[in-house]
């Protein structure tokens, strides 16, 4: 009996070993995808240590490693001000978007009425519209509201474009939560609002982390609308500040690269803290 079991174990081991050998192309493809993402970051990092007169290639190491680009960018002070502006826009955009999206998604996912179905279809339709195609109309509207050169003008614009996707993601996630929890809560005497805040909301942590990362990065990196709305120098965001290193007179690639590297750091740190919840949200969304 033991001999038969050992034989089965060996056959199983050989089978999985053969399966792994057949997956070589998947590992090669994964390595290629990783290289595609890492090569631009490598070039950016190398460029941030090069002077304007450096003659090395884009992929090569600097002739002389210099930190002048970083020191000059920090001493200039504009990058720190840009960090503040981008942080204000990103934080308020995410807070407003998450609060409105999860509260709107709850009744949409729990009440299967024709009106709610129509609202969901409207959200889906809005998601199909490229934001840049209506830039002129949005800009004219913001001028009438006197929202140009203001934080709230850009924040409301980003919330308006990000809200449909957030509502869609929240409503799909809430639909996977058993209705029995709502019914049990109401039987115990809780109101609908109490049911949402005490029963449903605590279970939305994975999808909240997903929305925070996806739309937070989008708000931090926003460029097109920021260029038209934030025109004053003291209101420039991080992307607009990096753009200042490129002009018709000359391009300071080292300063732009150093600013970009510094701009990546906050997003990387935030992701490291939220990565578990983000991965869980992606898995739950795929399964449910």
Count how many Cα atoms sit within 13 Å of the Cα of residue 166 in the half-sphere of its side chain.
Answer: 29
Rounded-to-integer distance, Cα 49 and Cα 61, Å = 9
pTM comes to 0.81
In this structure, is residue 232 part of a structural domain? Answer: yes
Indicate if 17 and 106 belong to the same structural domain: no
Indicate if 39 and 128 belong to the same structural domain: no
Indicate if 34 and 102 belong to the same structural domain: no
CA dihedral 80, 84, 85, 91 (to 10 degrees): 150
On whether the CB atoms of residues 102 and 170 are closer than 8 A, the answer is yes
Indicate if 97 and 180 belong to the same structural domain: yes
Indicate if 166 and 248 belong to the same structural domain: yes
Indicate if 28 and 122 belong to the same structural domain: no
Number of domains into which the chain is organized: 2
On whether the CB atoms of residues 51 and 199 are closer than 8 A, the answer is no
In this structure, is residue 59 part of a structural domain? Answer: no
pLDDT averaged over every residue in the chain: 84
pLDDT above 70 (res 75): yes
Q: Which of 92-96, 241-245, 265-269 shows the highest mean pLDDT?
A: 92-96
Identify the domain containing residue 167 by its residue range: 70-287
In this structure, is residue 63 part of a structural domain? Answer: no
In this structure, is residue 65 part of a structural domain? Answer: no
Indicate if 168 and 242 belong to the same structural domain: yes
What pLDDT score does 93 carry? 95
What pLDDT score does 92 carry? 96
In this structure, is residue 157 part of a structural domain? Answer: yes
In this structure, is residue 217 part of a structural domain? Answer: yes
Distances (CA, A) of 101 to 68, 159, 170, 205, 278: 44, 10, 7, 13, 18
pLDDT above 80 (res 8): no
Which CATH number belongs to the domain containing residue 201 in this structure?
1.10.3720.10
More confident residue, 71 or 3: 71
In this structure, is residue 60 part of a structural domain? Answer: no
Task: Using a pLDDT cut of 90, give the percent of the chain over it.
Answer: 26
Indicate if 14 and 99 belong to the same structural domain: no
DSSP assignment of the chain, as one string? -HHHHHHHHHHHHHHHHHHHHTTHHHHHHHHHHHHHHHHHHHHHHHHTT--TT--S-SSSPPSS---HHHHHHHHH-HHHHHHHHHHHHHHHHHHHHHHHHHHHHHHHHH---HHHHHHHHHHHHHHTS-GGGGHHHHHHHHHHTT-TTSHHHHHHHHHHHHHHHHHHHHHHHHHTS-HHHHHHHHHTT--HHHHIIIIIGGGGHHHHHHHHHHHHHHHHT--HHHHHH--SGGG--HHHHHHTTB-SS-B-HHHHHHHHHHHHHHHHHHHHHHHHHHHHHHHHHHH-
pLDDT above 90 (res 9): no
pLDDT above 70 (res 173): yes
Average of per-residue pLDDT across 104-128: 84
On whether the CB atoms of residues 92 and 155 are closer than 8 A, the answer is yes
Neighbours of 68 (CB within 10 A): 14
Task: Using a pLDDT cut of 70, give the percent of the chain over it.
Answer: 86
Indicate if 139 and 8 belong to the same structural domain: no
Indicate if 88 and 172 belong to the same structural domain: yes
Average of per-residue pLDDT across 144-163: 93
What pLDDT score does 239 carry? 92
The residue among 246, 262, 243 whose CA lies nearest residue 71 is: 262
Position of tokens 């924040």?
155
Indicate if 210 and 104 belong to the same structural domain: yes
Indicate if 189 and 108 belong to the same structural domain: yes
Average of per-residue pLDDT across 247-275: 83
């Amino acid at each position: 009996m033991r001999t038969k079991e050992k034989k089965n174990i060996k056959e199983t081991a050989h089978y999985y070993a053969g399966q792994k050998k057949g997956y070589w192309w998947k590992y090669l493809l994964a390595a290629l995808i990783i290289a595609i993402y890492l090569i631009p970051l490598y070039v950016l990092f190398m460029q941030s240590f090069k002077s304007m007169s450096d003659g090395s290639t884009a992929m090569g190491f600097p002739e002389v490693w210099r930190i002048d680009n970083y020191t000059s960018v920090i001493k200039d002070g504009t990058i720190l001000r840009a960090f503040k502006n981008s942080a204000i826009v990103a934080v308020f955009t995410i807070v407003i978007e998450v609060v409105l999206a999860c509260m709107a998604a709850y009744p949409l996912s729990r009440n299967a009425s024709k009106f709610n179905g129509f609202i969901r279809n409207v959200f889906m339709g809005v998601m199909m519209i490229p934001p840049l195609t209506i830039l002129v109309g949005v800009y004219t509207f913001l001028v009438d509201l006197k929202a140009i050169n203001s934080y709230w003008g850009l924040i409301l614009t980003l919330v308006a474009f990000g809200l449909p996707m957030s509502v869609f993601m929240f409503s799909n996630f809430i639909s996977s939560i058993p209705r029995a929890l709502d019914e049990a809560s109401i039987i115990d005497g809780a109101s609908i609002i109490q049911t949402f805040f005490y029963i449903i909301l605590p279970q939305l942590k994975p999808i909240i982390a997903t929305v925070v990362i996806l739309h937070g990065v989008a708000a931090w990196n926003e460029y097109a609308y920021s260029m038209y709305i934030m025109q004053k120098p003291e209101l420039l965001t991080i992307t607009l500040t990096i753009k200042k290193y490129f002009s018709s007179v000359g391009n300071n690639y080292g300063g732009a690269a150093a600013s970009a590297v510094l701009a990546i750091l906050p997003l990387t740190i935030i992701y490291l803290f939220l990565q578990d919840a983000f991965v869980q949200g992606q898995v739950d969304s795929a399964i449910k």
